[in-house]
Structure 1
């Protein structure tokens, strides 16, 4: 489905309970850098079966959400405003908001704006500021390859030279390989450059986020290699947030341990709704 917003259509996947109504408030899931709504497929129906409507989206410039040619449209602040507009357009009332990885840096801007009613905020596999280490090096390498005048043709050349063989060897099916290829090539090249800059240089806004009166959850894999687990644990303490560490998972517990992750999210969201009526 496409959700109409002032900045253009936002592509989304929506899940509802297979039987019965939506007893609880909706949730909105926002993916990370080079990710998409499909990153949450393994979670969606399980989350919905608890009695709520759940939306997973592509940010502008990602996969099936078109994005503008203006690099300023891909800052954390600008993308956070797009998430705000999306929540308004869904017209679901107060929602539970989750951001994965770079999506966590984006969605905290939505929280800090205070422009839409929220029931809770979850940072999943995300940190207090820009990534470091290998993940940062990979993002900077992609920026360098795309250069000062990124185009779809340049992005395609980068895929075939640098990513294709790895994708073919690391996924179990031709269908999944084709999806990863098509998703990468559908991204806005300008958006990729600016989002790579943002994910590596984002400032620490944990203090501001802690001051927002909203239930918060920090959820991450015990083997996360983007933001170290200790960094995320420290952030949770500073936020006075609940903390869930997913055993056996790395940077994407939504993919690596979907049942455990869905159970933790449902427990958190339901507990919030028991104490905070929308």
Structure 2
């Protein structure tokens, strides 16, 4: 299982609300480290039931390599507001337009990274308009719908949300999981050895999510079409990064997607669906190594 994220931003990082033409979004913004040569800026999108905090372990090593990193809660995720019961507000196209508004607000060409569900939202954003982006990294994010086992998990979650409150669903999840696990669905990658403080933070994050966001994006994960050919036609460099094991999208499927995209392919040993939490230093090295090869006009 994956390790839980830390909810404490690293030294020098700033948590604030990014104002955009489509509303405000909660972000953690980590500047380039003192003394490092600035090399670019990256916008980081979290996965299903995740949040900006999933990227906290990456900020310091990427900062030291010269990259400013901005992790964002999407509409209806954790500390970003959104409608409670309007599924249409969370249509993939709407979430993609949010990403373009975030890029405009940051005001610089960006490396875009999406984890799991965030990768599919990132893909939708660049298909709408790739011009704000220097590159796209899909981290543990596959070409189409999630695996059959994960579709079943998402269906159970969506069924539960139809008849229970968020707090009630959380209690059921905790009762059903083994003591060492706290994974609540595809893309929530917080698990191994979660202590009491971790569990309190994870519960707070869960309760911060809007039910309509989970219902809408859960359905997207289970029905997403294969858009790899469409994506590969764009004039962007691509990077497909994953752990060595992944039950949301099998690793051979990610290998094939990278081949179809002509993308750089990185497999992080010792990591599963959340290499950002499992092996952050190796993941940061791989990301910076890819970004270093791209046009340095990014930021």
Q: TM-score scaled to structure 1, two decimals?
A: 0.93
Residue in structure 2 matched with residue 197 of structure 1 by the alignment: 219
**Higher mean C-alpha deviation, range 227-236 or range 129-138:** 129-138
Residue in structure 2 matched with residue 44 of structure 1 by the alignment: 59
Residue in structure 2 matched with residue 58 of structure 1 by the alignment: 73
Structure 1 residues 173-206: Cα deviation after superposition (integer angstroms, max 9, x where no partner): 2111111111011100111111100111111110
Q: Distance in 2 between matches of 1:25 and 1:17?
A: 9
Paired positions, count: 272
Compared CA separation, residues 128 and 236, structure 1 to 2 (3 A): same
Q: Distance in 2 between matches of 1:51 and 1:35?
A: 26
Compared CA separation, residues 50 and 164, structure 1 to 2 (3 A): farther
1:135 to 150, 157, 181: 150
Structure 1 residues 135-184: Cα deviation after superposition (integer angstroms, max 9, x where no partner): 2111111111111xx7xx61111111223573864333211111111101
Structure 2 unaligned residues grouped into runs of 5+: 1-15, 182-192
Residue in structure 2 matched with residue 5 of structure 1 by the alignment: 20
**2:113 partner SS:** strand
Does residue 184 (structure 1) correspond to residue 206 (structure 2)? The answer is yes
Residue in structure 1 matched with residue 289 of structure 2 by the alignment: 267
Residue in structure 1 matched with residue 32 of structure 2 by the alignment: 17
1:106-185 alignment runs, 5 A limit: 106-114=121-129, 116-147=131-162, 154-163=165-174, 166=177, 169-170=180-181, 171-185=193-207
Residue in structure 2 matched with residue 82 of structure 1 by the alignment: 98
How big is the shift at 1:128? 0.5
Compared CA separation, residues 238 and 246, structure 1 to 2 (3 A): same
**Higher mean C-alpha deviation, range 76-85 or range 96-105:** 76-85
Answer 1 or 2: higher relative contact order, Cα 8 Å, separation at least 6.
2
Q: Distance in 2 between matches of 1:116 and 1:214?
A: 9
Does residue 228 (structure 1) correspond to residue 250 (structure 2)? The answer is yes
Does residue 35 (structure 1) correspond to residue 50 (structure 2)? The answer is yes
Which has the larger helix fraction?
A: 1
Structure 1 contact 164–181 (Cα < 8 Å) conserved? no
**1:29 partner SS:** strand
Residue in structure 1 matched with residue 118 of structure 2 by the alignment: 103
How big is the shift at 1:71? 0.9
Structure 2 contact 111–298 (Cα < 8 Å) conserved? no
Structure 1 contact 97–118 (Cα < 8 Å) conserved? yes
**Higher mean C-alpha deviation, range 212-221 or range 172-181:** 172-181
Does residue 215 (structure 1) correspond to residue 237 (structure 2)? The answer is yes
**2:67 partner SS:** coil
Structure 2 contact 36–64 (Cα < 8 Å) conserved? no
